[in-house]
Every structure is written in C-alpha cells, then in structure tokens.
Amino acid sequence: MLNVAFAQLNFTVGDIEGNKKKIIQTIEKYKTEANVILFPELSLSGYPPEDLLLQPHFWDACRDALKEIVRKTRGSDTLVCVGTPYYELDLYNALVLIHDGQVVGVYKKHFLPNYGVFDECRYFRRGEEEFLVKLNDYLISFSICEDIWYPDGVERRGALSGAHLILNTNASPYHAGKYEFKERFLRARAQDNLCFVGYLNLVGAQDELVFDGRSLVIAPDGELVARAKAFEEDVLVVSLELEDVRRKRALDLRWREASSQTRPLRIITSILSEKRPLRGGRIEESPKGEEELYTALVLGLRDYAKKNNFPGAVLGLSGGIDSSLVACIASDALGSENVLGVFMPSEFSSKESYEDAKALAKALGIRFLVVPIDEVFKTFRKELTKTLEKSEFTLADENIQARIRANILFYISNELGYLVLSTSNKSESAVGYTTIYGDMSGGFAPIKDVYKTLVYKLARYRNKKSPVIPERVFKKPPSAELRPNQRDQDTLPPYELLDKILRLYVEENLSPEEIVSRGFPKDVVYRTVALIRKSEYKRKQAPVGTKVTKRAFGKDWRMPITNRFLL
C-alpha cells in the first residue's frame, strides 16, 4: 500500500517565490500522510511561462528556488515530485524527484506539443531517458502531460518494465467536452497496462487558458477510484493497493508475453518509506454542460483580475443578453461589491433597456451608473459631418456611439483602477459585428469564446441559480440600438444558423464547400466565411478572453491578416 498526494494547486506564472512557498507549505502539511507528493507540470515557474523561458536568469531563479525546496525535504522519507524548467546543457520541461534533501532523479518530458495553444518546441529540448523508482516493494514510472497521450509511449514501456503505478503530471487546458474524452482514454491506459494511473492536473487560469483540475486515479480494471474537485484547489490523498497489479498481471498472458519482449527500464533509486494512515479515495462531482462552462468562465475572469491586481471590474450594461451574462460572471468571480455597471443611453436606447439594466444591477447587488452620451454624440456628429460635408446617418455614426461608450468606460477604469470588461461574444467577433475601439474594447473579454446561442443557455443556467436577468432580456430581439428599430438579424443570418456554420468552419476546420454539402445555404455559408476573413484585423486587436471551445480566436487561431487565399 502506498499513499499518494495529488497537489492540484493554482500557481502563478513568474511568481517563483510565491510558487515555491506554496510547494513547501504543501510538503510540510502532507508529508506525514503521503509516501509520494506530486505537483503539476511546471508548477515552480507557473504554466505557461512562454518567452520567460528564453531568459537565462529566469532559469536561474527556478534553479535557486528548487534548491531551497530540496533542502526543506531533509529528514523526510516522502518522495516529492516538482514540475519545473530544468537546465542541463539545454532547457527541459522536467519533473524533479526529491527525497530526504537529495535530487534522486529528473524526468524530462518526451513529447513536446506544438499545436493549438502550445509552443513547447520553441522552448524545450525533448527528453529521452526513461526510468523507474522503487518505493518500498513497488515500481513507479513518471511522465509529463503529452507523454501519456501516446498509447505505445512512455507509460507503456514503464508498465511493461514492471511499473505498478504510472504518475502523470499535467497543465492541461480546459475546453468543453475535453474532460469526458480524457477520462475515457485514461481508463484505457490503466486497463491496457494493468496498473494504476494517477493523473494530476493544474487548476486555475492564465491569460486565455483555464485549467479545470479534476485530477484522477484509475485502477487496473479501469474503474475510477478517486477524483479531485473541478475548478478548485484540492489536495487529493489516496491509498493505493498496488498488490492488485501483481494479482491481475499474474492472470494475464498478454501482459506477460509483451513484458518478456521489452527491455526493462533501469531503476534509478530505491526508497524506503514508512506506512501511512489509510486514506480512502473520494470521488468529487464533475460538472457538465452549462454548469461546467459557466464555472470555467468565472474562474478565468477571477484569476485574470486577481493575478493582475485589478481591484474590480467595470462594464457597459446595455440591457441586452451579452452584457447581462458578463455582469453575472463578473459578480460571481469578483464579488458584487467590486463590479460597476454603466448604462450609457443615446437617443436610440429604449426605455425597456434602461429598466432591464437597472433591474439586473439591483438583483446582482452591483453598483449602477447612468452616463448619457447624447450631447457628446451630437458634438462629434456636428463637427464630423461639417468636416466631411455629409448629412446622411451612416455606419460611421453608429460606430462612434460605441467608441464614445468605450472612452467613458476607460475613463472610469483610469479613475478606479478597474478592469474594463468587453461584452462581445464569439459569433459577433467571428463576422465582425462589433465595433473596433468600441464595444469590443476592454482589458478582458469573458465571453470572447462563447457563441451567441450558448450565451442564452448560460444566462438561463445562471437564472436557475437565482433569477437576476429580467425575462424580457431573453425574449426581445438582439439589437445594438445604434439606429432606430435596429435588429441584429437585419445584418446577420439567424444566430441558430450562423453558429452552426461558425462551429464547422472554425472548430472542425471544414471548407465552405464541405459545409454547403452538409445542407447549409450556399449564399449564407460563403458570406459568413467572407465576413470571417474580412474581420481578421479586428480580432488581432481584441482583448484576451477565456478559451472554452476546441479552437478559440487567440493562440488557437493564427490566420494572417493579409490573405488572398481563395475561400
């Protein structure tokens, strides 16, 4: 029996001193409960450190902090495993194994992801050595994140070399639907290798990425024996009956045959660790659907504001569904007392919009200001129409209203130090139905990666918790209210149709022809793709926002602005 502590913690990129202290405090607290304490991938530096990794003095700071962690383990028989950048002739993404004041091994990540949001080949050299650690009578193999996604990779060779337990440490970003797939393939890894699989994931948010935690332990029969909390810090201590592995392998001729043909990995160290108190595995609830997505958005905003030292947030409240949802997310993330909603009416703003914005603010308990823009707008228009010798009301007159509102929000931001929240959603951003330096402006965009149809679903979910968004907001047609009787659908296809096309083009990478072949109207498909292409320059200047889909407009989407490739 071995006790393993999975330290699912929230670390901050570049806060090496703070991360070090959190690691040491966790070791001190759990060393009498666990034979092994495992920390997330690159926990000492925070993840992802990006181009900090190109600075040698950053490596040095991580090295010095690691030395102190090593010293703090003296006199303890617990094996401590810390993720850190590790320099040895070149830089590696490493898991440093520490026991009783000594570094007993360094596992260097083998498979470096270089797709989607990942750029690890830019920073690290690929590791090559694999090994086992003998702890009491049991063998443990180690891997880092991407390594376990290859079925015949590191964990397979470790298992065939006799490993009873595979420990995999991660900083695996969240997107909707990913957790279910991850749990299925981890069950398969445990069953295929007839061993326990311990999967530790980072929790917290960093810029556009959010990490959901939900660390797992899977038994050799594929059963889930423990799961940590979702989207929260948690230290999961589990007692593992590793003798089960020997019993199952003794009855499995396939494993015996495969292992007999494998050159066993070397055992780099043997450790004796006293028996710890029995700790039964707990299985925490795993949220699904809108609950999961909403929780991710709240964590994304909370960590962005907290880690960048913003005391609160300010946003424009229009009385529409987007700003209503963002206000809810902000209130839940930062506390209602730290959120300011500003209603900025023009001559085109309806009485109902004011009533709905005010009712929402009151229900949430956030501060509410009314700052009319009529006089400023009239002054702008008077001067500009005279200068440009124009009289008709055009798109430029619509957009200047959005830009006036953005200026007001940033003025308040400068005065209070608050973070300006953009309320643009993914559907609008995709086709450019948003004003650059206007409503798309901000320091953070909580629903940047949320389609319009999903905005409504998330708002409904939030209202089930407490009915704060007025029912009328759900029923009235979406409108920017920048000209008389304006409706989104005057310019765009119905959102139900638009969002389906966007998902196929952006996330599934289908060509326009392939989308049309699935029964979508050809004119709508090609017009939508043309709008996506045309709006690239806007998105390049948009604020960062939490990634929650497979492919977000950010690191996932690196299209050139200047682009003449045919649709």
- Look up residue 14 and give its two tokens: 């570049």
Is there a catalytic annotation at residue 81?
no
Amino acid letter at 113? P
Determine whether 208 is exposed, middle or buried from the number of CB atoms within 10 Å of its CB (0-12, 13-18, 19+): buried
Token pair for residue 480?
């920017």
Kindly tell me the sign of the dihedral angle through the C-alpha atoms of 474, 478, 481, 483: negative
* Contact by Cβ (8 Å): 330, 361: no
User: 491-517 as b/e, with b when 16 or more CB fall inside 10 Å?
Assistant: ebbebebbbbbbbbbbeeebebeebbe
Q: 329: buried, middle or exposed (CB in 10 Å: 19+, 13-18, 0-12)?
A: buried
241 torsion bin: left (phi>0), alpha (psi -120 to 50), beta (else): beta
62 close to 44: Cβ distance less than 8 angstroms: yes
96 and 81 in contact (C-beta within 8 Å)?
Answer: yes
Compute the radius of gyration of the chain from its Cα atoms.
27
> Cβ distance 239 to 275 under 8 Å?
no
Q: Is 109 a catalytic residue?
A: yes
d(CA 320, CA 149): 43
HSE-CB at 286 with a 13 A cutoff on CA atoms is 18
Q: Compute the distance between CA of residue 124 and CA of residue 122 in angstroms, rounded to an integer.
A: 6
The answer to whether 146 touches 109, Cβ cutoff 8 Å, is: yes
- 282: tokens are 């707990």
62, 81, 145, 328: the catalytic one is 145
Contacting residues for 554 by C-beta, under 8 A, at least 6 apart: 117, 208, 448, 449, 544, 545, 547
Tell the burial category of 248 from Cβ atoms under 10 Å away from its Cβ (0-12, 13-18, 19+): middle
Q: Which of 31, 108, 109, 538 is catalytic?
A: 109
Quickly list DSSP for 75-107: T---EEEEEEEEESSSEEEEEEEEETTEEEEEE
Residues 215, 458: Cα–Cα separation, whole Å:
25
Strands 196-201 and 165-170, by their bridges, are: parallel
Q: Find the catalytic residue in 20, 31, 41, 452.
A: 41
Assign residue 149 a region: left if phi > 0, alpha if psi is -120 to 50, beta otherwise? alpha
Alpha-carbon distance of 239 to 53, in angstroms, equals 36
User: Is 351 an annotated catalytic residue?
Assistant: no
Write out the catalytic residue numbers. 41, 109, 145
